[in-house]
Amino acid sequence: MIWSSHSWRTLLSVALLSHLATALPAVEHATSAAANICNGRSEYCSRPYSEVTFVGSHDSAFVGELPQQNQNIDVTAQLNMGIRFLQAQTHHSLIDKNVLELCHTSCLLEDAGTLESYLRTIKTFLDANANEVVTLLLTNGDSVDITEFNEAFASSGIDRYAFVPSSNPLPLESWPTLGQMISQGTRLVVFLDYGANTAKVNYILDEFAYYFETPYDVTDSSFSGCSIDRPSGASPSGRMYIVNHFLDVDIFGVKVPDRTAASSTNAATGKGSIGAQAAVCQSLYNRTPNVVLLDFVDKGSAIQAQNALNGV
């Protein structure tokens, strides 16, 4: 039999359609299976973002053994151990005022590199881990215009993952579930403490429109309080909340992270633990914290405490 070119095209089309019909269910099954795990737990997929407790890394970029450094392991290692909320301080570079650096109070004291480099590190993690939602809280110590932050996010490429709320501020009951955020590809939530302007940059959200915070620079190892520190005079109603559960020690009038107490401070239970302070907070606000910020996240039982607070 002699096959015409039309016959060959018909045969190839039938074969291609047959292959797609066989392959599509497998692809659909793979997508469905992936959506069953969110931030490492199946239980989180159906839970709204505003009803999840995250243990977070306070001053996540300042890594080392010096007094002003708050973490022992770098950001990639923090993400790999399960931390999904990262806080960092930003300031203008002393060398180039067009560049944002991660600096502790002053770039003369501690400079952990550019914001863009930091964001690229987080993007690398998001690229490789499609079922993870990460939150970033930045401080704006130099009152930098929001467009400069946008430039760093765009240059790093991480803005493609940014979550944009349907209204602003988004009511607590209107947050999507982690599963929805993952399926929509909006897996990075960004907050800025001062200077946010969603009319200019719609994905960098005003921290204090969404959260209140407990006091920081705490030197009481029992962490017996959970009062509202910022924003001043705020009502807890309608806001998520951040518990600053990192212990400082006062050395000649200067407060520095208490590295030696980290294992007990970051314990899941016991006096002065994550669980103990969270219980105090829950008794005041009738809900668990949304974020518990820690120094030295690799010490103690941060992820165990997170699981307990989420009831998983």
DSSP for 241-261 reads EEEE--BEEEETTEEEE-GGG
To the question of domain 49-309 being in CATH 3.20.20.70, the answer is: no
Per-residue pLDDT of 18-29, as tens digits, reads: 443 444 333 333
DSSP for 87-104 reads EEEEEE-SS-TTSEEEES
Question: Is the CB of residue 20 less than 8 Å from the CB of residue 276?
Answer: no
Per-residue pLDDT of 140-173, as tens digits, reads: 999 999 999 999 999 999 999 999 999 999 999 9
Q: Across residues 33-46, what is the average pLDDT?
A: 85
Catalytic annotation present for 104? yes
Residue type, 231: P
Tell me how crowded residue 201 is: count the other CB atoms within 10 A of its CB.
23
Angle between helices 302-309 and 274-285 (to 10 degrees): 30
- Measured between alpha carbons, how far is 72 from 198 in angstroms, rounded to an integer? 34
Strand 100-103 with 204-206, pairing:
unpaired
**Catalytic hit among 91, 92, 104, 245:** 104
Tokens encoding 183: 């399926």
Altogether, the residues listed in the chain come to a count of 312
Ramachandran bin of 123, using left for φ above 0, alpha for ψ from -120 to 50, beta for the remaining angles:
alpha
Question: Is the CB of residue 127 less than 8 Å from the CB of residue 179?
Answer: no
- Measured between alpha carbons, how far is 48 from 83 in angstroms, rounded to an integer? 18
Handedness of CA 83, 213, 140, 90 (dihedral sign): negative
Q: How confident is the model at residue 35 (pLDDT cuts 50, 70, 90)?
A: low
**Catalytic hit among 58, 91, 92, 245:** 58
Tell me how crowded residue 178 is: count the other CB atoms within 10 A of its CB.
27
The pLDDT value given to residue 31: 37
Q: Across residues 279-293, what is the average pLDDT?
A: 98
Indicate the DSSP class of residue 287: S
Tokens encoding 285: 């606000």
Least confident of 2-6, 88-92, 244-248: 2-6
Tell me how crowded residue 233 is: count the other CB atoms within 10 A of its CB.
6
Question: Is the CB of residue 82 less than 8 Å from the CB of residue 53?
Answer: no
Tokens 């219980």 correspond to what residue? 279
Contacts of range 280-287, beta carbons closer than 8 Å, 24 or more positions apart: 280/223, 280/224, 280/225, 280/226, 281/214, 281/226, 281/241, 281/243, 284/226, 285/226, 285/236, 285/241
Tokens 């302070």 correspond to what residue? 277
Strand 188-192 with 134-140, pairing:
parallel
Give the domain ranges of the chain: 49-309
Per-residue pLDDT of 115-137, as tens digits, reads: 999 999 999 999 999 999 999 99
The pLDDT value given to residue 29: 33
Query: Number of C-alpha atoms within 13 angstroms, CB side, residue 157?
Result: 8
Catalytic annotation present for 19? no
